[in-house]
Amino acid sequence: MSNTTPSFDSLQHACDFVGQAVVSFDQRGVSTDRPSGVMCPNCQCELVIGEVENSKFAGCPSCRGMLFQQDVFGMLIQYLRSKSPGTDRMPAPLDLDALKVRRLCPACDQIMETHSYAGPGNAVIDSCFACQIIFLDQGELTKLVEAPGRRV
């Protein structure tokens, strides 16, 4: 266990979405000037609290990964898919090599589960079921939002 394990409350704060459409860490207008105290599970850089209007997430300024709370992630995907026209193009095949990646949860330092996303889109995500957080690599959120399939 690391000496600076963030509290679950800091992850809660960093991932507190309020329903605005944030599809990319690099989206114009994203403010990322506040450190989160949470380290990136991909590259170990400190995550920053990203914000567009009132929407917040923990994002990595180095690798552009994004960290979410599990329940917030589910609501966010549903909301963003409902606002996106999507595409008729079939998504690229799942990157099987990405399933071999092992990352440590930034909250508990245990190995995160690496698995394919169970909904529309072909993306590999990293989850810590104990801490209820999800990490997405750069571009994975966009893949999930724009994937063909049902939009509610």
Q: Tens digit of pLDDT per residue, the chain (152 long)? A: 333 333 334 444 333 332 333 345 555 445 566 788 899 999 999 998 875 434 567 888 889 898 988 887 887 788 788 887 877 777 788 889 999 999 999 999 999 999 999 888 889 999 999 999 999 998 888 888 888 887 77
Asked if residue 15 is part of any domain, the answer here is yes
Q: What share of the chain is helix, strand, coil (3-state, %, to 5)?
A: 20, 25, 50
> Count of domains in the chain?
1
Asked if residue 82 is part of any domain, the answer here is yes
Q: Tokens 């944030």 map to which residue? A: 22
Domain ranges, residue 44: 8-146
Asked if residue 25 is part of any domain, the answer here is yes
Burial class of 124 by CB neighbour count within 10 A (0 to 12, 13 to 18, 19+): buried
Residue 63 half-sphere exposure toward CB, CA atoms < 13 A: 17
Enter the pTM of the model. 0.77
Asked if residue 152 is part of any domain, the answer here is no
Asked if residue 3 is part of any domain, the answer here is no
Residue 77: per-residue pLDDT: 83
Helices in the chain by DSSP H: which ranges? 8-14, 70-83, 140-146
Measured between alpha carbons, how far is residue 25 from residues 11, 42, 143 in Å?
17, 15, 13
